[in-house]
Structure 1
Amino acid sequence: MSIQFTNQKSILVTGATGKQGGAVISALLEAGAGETHTILAVTRNPAAASAKALEAQGVKVFKGDLNDVPAIFASAKSVLGGSAAEIWGVYSVQTAIGQGASAESEERQGKALIDEALANNVKHFVYSSIDRGGDSSYDNVFPQVQHFKSKYNIEHYLVEKAKNQMTWTILRPVAFMDNMTPGMETKIMATSWRVAVKEKPLQLVAVKDVGYFAAQSFLRPQDFASKEVPIAGDELTLDEASAVFKRKVGTEVPETFQFLVRFLHWMIADFGAMYRWFHTDGFRVNIDSVKRQHSGLLNFEEWLERESKFIQK
């Protein structure tokens, strides 16, 4: 008979070696949760350097695929000592664009995680969604952006299914500063911003701050149960962001050919629809309110200095 080796609460983090999942684990560790909780990291490649770095910090890393959620839970329980082991919390994040992902796969995976969490008596479920217009986000679908609609469907599925069995928190980040990295990704983001968002400000957030609120949701579930948490750290036009970038990095935000980005928006329709939504509707997070909850919230300049890969640390 297998015996669970710990009585600590166990938190299962999906996307553990990605931007969001990695930020969640970092925030948990910084808060000392490694001493009070068992952190379970799901990754497609446990041999990767990022996965090995997590293991070195005491995180339990194992292989998993969101297309087979029951296998993820079985593997997590095996890591904990056997089928009788309990998983207390789950951090759920999926991708809808790139590497074969779609809004359909995102919704399927998101709902499967909810189902399996309930089947395994998980107590607290944190879902990373997106802001869709401030306080009215839960009711806003915006079907023209398919991965907004899929997130809407996952949120409503979570709230309906969880009821009194499992508490939940829905995180609502805006556009990620961390999508700016040296290379083509930044050029595509900046040029998309210019051609689609135009002169309108865009709200941005550091994944580090998403990680902070996710960690707090697990460490203080009584304060975050049944709560939607909007998260943004700055609001800038592209020209304003470029001025900050030039002041800190020495050059303006790099861009690429506009015709290339327009073609990309046409070829990946959901990507283009999202950027058009940034202009027609846009995020509506009350940043001052977020700052009152998290004094360490990063604006764009602070993110460039402390977290980005543009400045040597």
Structure 2
Amino acid sequence: MTASARPPIAYGSRAWFDLVGATSLTLGAERFHDALLELVGALIDHSARWVIRFSDVALPEVMSTHGVPSHVVEHYNASCASIDPFAAHWRLHLETGVRALSRFEGEVGSVDPYPYNQAFKPAANVTDEVGLFVSTIGRSSLGLFLERETGEFTDEELEIARLAFPTVDGLHRAHIGRLFERVQRGDSASPAFLDGSALVQDRHGVEIHSTAAWRSAAQADPRIMDAVQAMAGEGAECLDDCILTCDVLDRYFPLAPEGRLFALAPYSADPEERTAAIERASLLARLNPRECEVFNLMLAGGSTSSISKVLSLAKGTIKNYKLAIYRASGLTSERALIQKYGVRG
């Protein structure tokens, strides 16, 4: 796999700014993320590129690749997505920025990359990966990945990626804004990251945008909108045929600052996962917002120490939240909690 045949260009050089300008011309276009990844790849020698969507509740989804054989993508989806340390780290920290596979081991509050290293690296013929996690909406992120066939990404290369990250993330935010400007004007359908059944409300509860699938589902089942009106904040509620989730949007979201994103997710075909999903939603409805945060971080593999760092709370406070979660669930251990409510790979 040879994705970068030309020598890397220097960050901050005329060539770099020319490429930033060329990337900005793709804002709102279908090939934007490929152009954005080319921008990153121009700075750092690499052998292949991936764009992957990450969520705190679902397995990673490969959006596009360059220089990656199809059998490697199939292997990732079948055997590696469920143990991807980048995905586990996102679920645990919901943290944008730059992260390298070779730097996971030994980091406080991180995850164990060993199973993924054993399953993916030999099959893909790679020795290291670096990912730039950019902001999207709700509790999801897009990861822009560079891979290397020989050696690890150096500290200097990772620093270059960190220097470039604000530009990369800013371009991505502008891209999201451009997409929603077109939606508001009626010039295009929903952005790809709102595929499926989704509703966006502003902070006053006024509908700003909904997909055709959402409108069809809400028309067929009036209880969906009843459930929307009853939800006070983030969370999930089990309906007859699907799960309704709600995420609060940040203050910079272009379409509805501090609004809410609702989505309908079908139940898994796996009876065990369907039961776990229903039980997760039922438990979340009985927890307060802070307990929900701790619960989700526990399912992502977070220890008491790492959760206390993520939430900037004392370890004793986290232990008290855990006790409250155990009482609400009727369980007595973290292992039992994860076995009952954890997302199946």
What TM-score do you get using the length of structure 2 for normalisation? 0.28
Higher radius of gyration, 1 or 2: 2
What TM-score do you get using the length of structure 1 for normalisation? 0.30
* Higher relative contact order structure (alpha carbons within 8 Å, sequence separation ≥ 6): 1
